[in-house]
A = this chain, B = another copy of it.
Amino acid sequence: MLAEDLIGILAGVFTTLAVLPQIIKALQTRKVEDVSPYMFFILCLGVGLWTVYGIFKMDWPIILTNGISFILNSLMLGIIITQKQHGI
């Protein structure tokens, strides 16, 4: 495997899974007051469009990483919206 392939895989894993600590923190503390819902809304739009782009190009790494990102960021956006309705 080339060095740049390894760098690309690591980069993809990090950017895809970065939201997980925020999801865990939000579920544990049940507080999301300081978190911007707009950030996660725009992220969902962005990675959603990347997924569509990947489908156009039939590029599986783009579809897979951005598809997972879309699910995780939608989950975080859902937590924020639910918490704003029921909480604080």
B-binding residues in A (CB < 8 A):
3-4, 7-8, 10-22, 24-26, 29, 31-36, 38-40, 42-43, 45-47, 49-50, 52-53, 56-57
Q: Which residue of the partner chain B has the closest CB to A69?
A: B15
Do residues B18 and A46 form an inter-chain contact, with CB atoms below 8 A?
yes
Do residues B18 and A26 form an inter-chain contact, with CB atoms below 8 A?
no
Secondary structure class of chain A's binding surface, majority of residues: helix
Q: Which residue of the partner chain B has the closest CB to A7?
A: B53
A15–B18 alpha-carbon span in the complex (Å): 13
- Known A8-B53, A36-B22: A14·B43 in contact at CB below 8 Å: yes
Contact partners of A34 in chain B: CB under 8 A: 25-26, 29, 31-35
